Structure 1
Amino acid sequence: MSALKTEKSISSDARKAKVALSVFFNIMDEWHVKAKDQITLLGSPSESTYYKWKKGNVSSLSSDTLERISYVMGIYKGLGILFPTREQADAWPNKSNRDFNGLSAMEYMLKGSMINLWDVRRYVDAQRG
């Protein structure tokens, strides 16, 4: 592989990572999610890594982290379709839900496993029909 292709790949990975994290952090702000919980949703990077990401210092993200962000983005988008206002959509993740054994979707996602994020994403998609 030529040096030029490698450089392009690195800059492309960095752009993708920065955009993904920017969207993630904007959603977290709208959902009023604490930093420690954001770290859990991102797959538990170190606090120093989290704060570097928060400042936009990132060159790439693991496929695990990108997948987690993708689920959060899908949930956010799905809620925007389901609810008539963004305010209602943004409140939903913190409301208790019998389908998550009385936990809110956020509490369920904060169990930390990728499957929990996937379950909430699937649930929201199913509600959309």
Structure 2
Amino acid sequence: MQRAPRVSRSVPPPQPSVADMSAAGLRAFFNIARDWALSADEQIVLLGSPGRSTFFKWKAAPQTARLGRDTLERLSLILGIYKALQILLPQAEAADGWIKRENAAPPFGGRRALDRMLAGNVSDLVAVRQYLDAMRGGWA
């Protein structure tokens, strides 16, 4: 007697929790901030201007953070900017220094990409990310 073939019912992997995304995102962010030599004040602005005590709690114990949607979106954009720079400029020194060099491209108007990113709006992070994605030939 032959058996009918087993039907595999794959279960989708569980979605990461807000706590998991928060911890991973903050760990990555603080590594990027180190690579980019960002001051605490610059880091705070990039994270959406949380209170200083909150920022330092996140830095000391990212695994305990529960970030809001805005901060998670900011982290996603910053990680995308970092990754795009690593692809476009494979030498770490060049990639990490790019955000602090003056740039004549339209989104920056002769200012540094970091200046645009520090304007405080998520849309400024989006503009830098889209510029870099366009430079690497991706969708803008």
TM-score for both structures, normalised by structure 1: 0.88
Q: Does 1:110 align with 2:118?
A: yes
User: For 1:126 and 1:102, how far apart are their aligned partners in 2?
Assistant: 19
**Which of the pair has the greater relative contact order for Cα pairs under 8 Å at 6+ separation?**
1
Q: CA deviation at 1:56?
A: 1.4
Q: CA deviation at 1:64?
A: 0.2
Indicate the residue corresponding to 2:8 in structure 1: none
Indicate the residue corresponding to 2:61 in structure 1: 56
Q: Does 1:128 align with 2:136?
A: yes
RMSD over aligned CA atoms reads 1.5
Indicate the residue corresponding to 2:18 in structure 1: 13
Q: How does 1:68-79 map to 2 (within 5 A)?
A: 68-79=74-85
User: For 1:95 and 1:59, how far apart are their aligned partners in 2?
Assistant: 32
Q: CA deviation at 1:12?
A: 3.1
2:39 to 34, 47, 60: 34
User: For 1:86 and 1:126, how far apart are their aligned partners in 2?
Assistant: 20
Letter paired with 2:44: I
1:93 to 75, 91, 99: 99
Letter paired with 2:65: S
Moved over 6 A (4+): none
Q: CA deviation at 1:84?
A: 2.8
1:82 to 64, 82, 88: 88
TM-score for both structures, normalised by structure 2: 0.82
User: For 1:18 and 1:12, how far apart are their aligned partners in 2?
Assistant: 10
Q: Identify unmatched segments of 5+ residues in structure 2.
A: 1-14
Letter paired with 2:120: G
Look at both structures and tell me which one has the larger radius of gyration over its CA atoms.
Answer: 2
Q: Identify unmatched segments of 5+ residues in structure 1.
A: 1-8
User: For 1:47 and 1:55, how far apart are their aligned partners in 2?
Assistant: 12
SS in 2 for 1:98: coil
SS in 1 for 2:57: helix
User: For 1:44 and 1:119, how far apart are their aligned partners in 2?
Assistant: 19
Percentage of identical aligned residues = 46
Task: Summarize the Cα distance change of 1:111–1:19 in structure 2 as closer, same or farther, 3 Å threshold.
Answer: same
